Amino acid sequence: MEIRALREGKPIATQPAVKFFVGEVFVVAGQSNSANHGAAKTKATSDQVLTQTPKGDWQACADPQPGASGGGGSFLPALGDELQKRLGVPIGFIPCGIGATSVREWLPSGAPFPNPPTIVSRVRKTADGQWESDGKAYAMLVKRMKSVPSFRAVLWHQGESDANQKDATRTLSGKLYADYLQTLITRTRKDALVLPSAHWFVAQVSYHGPDDVGSKDIRAAQASLWKDKVALEGPDSDALRGPLRDNGGKGVHFSAEGLKAHAHAWAEKLVPWIEAQR
């Protein structure tokens, strides 16, 4: 579509017109299952489902999602289509997920913790023997939050890299998980200049495979944030197993059908909450 300026019926200038949508915007963050690591790439069927690039441009919601790690599929096209159909408004996503990240890696720069995650590329050891985040994931998240005037909620899907690590010294306790995620939530509300009540949905996430279907400690920590009204209840993705996982049901990521199931699980949490506020 373009806009034309006419003089005596003849065009003297043209300017491309930008589509303007008023709807629901969600920031999506966490680790691989919030990003592009699913088994099948898809795209939204509705032209009213959009994704924001790291440069701030909006484009059709198609995998891989810009701004998130991985080159595979995500749950966002299916979620966007379901939300658009059920809510009747345009849907926008701001994807920020980074595969294999611990909640420790999402903390602001300098935030200390006693034991490192399994992957240490986003953390550093301090002189006193503790560890701290380099703050890069946090800075990216805050920057992308500030790229829009407002958004409906953050969808947080993370926990596998803190639960039941092969090296037990890299596992994070449930108490510290809850403390660190609460720190992340409260600091982003301040630093991203969003409302103090800016909503976060926290999913139940700790699944590694059929032989390690979840961590009671991490799941309890995630649920404690709902109980304490720090965050709202997200879906229980640990319950999505068998053929809903990749690698013949043995993987940690979602199969094509699993991506749809994951999307629907999110919609079942989001739609009633949004409708109750209308």
Please report which confidence band the pLDDT of residue 8 belongs to, taking 50, 70 and 90 as the band edges: low
Looking at residue 120, its pLDDT comes to 98
Can you tell me the mean pLDDT for 96-114?
Answer: 98
Higher pLDDT, 66 or 196: 66
Please report which confidence band the pLDDT of residue 193 belongs to, taking 50, 70 and 90 as the band edges: confident
Please report which confidence band the pLDDT of residue 113 belongs to, taking 50, 70 and 90 as the band edges: very high
pLDDT tens per residue, range 44-82: 999 999 999 999 999 999 999 999 999 999 999 999 999
Q: In this structure, what token pair is assigned to residue 62?
A: 């198609």
Q: Residue 143: which domain range?
A: 2-276
Answering whether pTM is above 0.85, one says yes
Can you tell me the mean pLDDT for 199-219?
Answer: 99
Q: Per-residue pLDDT for 16 more than 90? A: no
Contact status, residue 61 vs residue 94, Cβ threshold 8 Å? no
Contact status, residue 268 vs residue 79, Cβ threshold 8 Å? no
Dihedral angle over CA of 255, 31, 224, 267, nearest 10: -50
Q: Per-residue pLDDT for 244 more than 60? A: yes
pLDDT tens per residue, range 24-43: 999 999 999 999 999 999 99
Q: Residue type at 73?
A: G
Q: Per-residue pLDDT for 87 more than 80? A: yes
Between helix 174-191 and helix 136-145 the angle, nearest 10°, is: 50
CATH of the domain at 169: 3.40.50.1110
Residue 112: CA atoms inside 13 Å, Cβ hemisphere, count?
6
Q: Classify burial at 118, counting beta carbons within 10 Å of its beta carbon; exposed 0-12, middle 13-18, buried 19 or more.
A: middle
Number of compact structural domains in the chain: 1
In degrees rounded to 5, what are phi and psi of residue 246?
A: -80, 180
Looking at residue 69, its pLDDT comes to 99
Looking at residue 194, its pLDDT comes to 74
Looking at residue 3, its pLDDT comes to 45
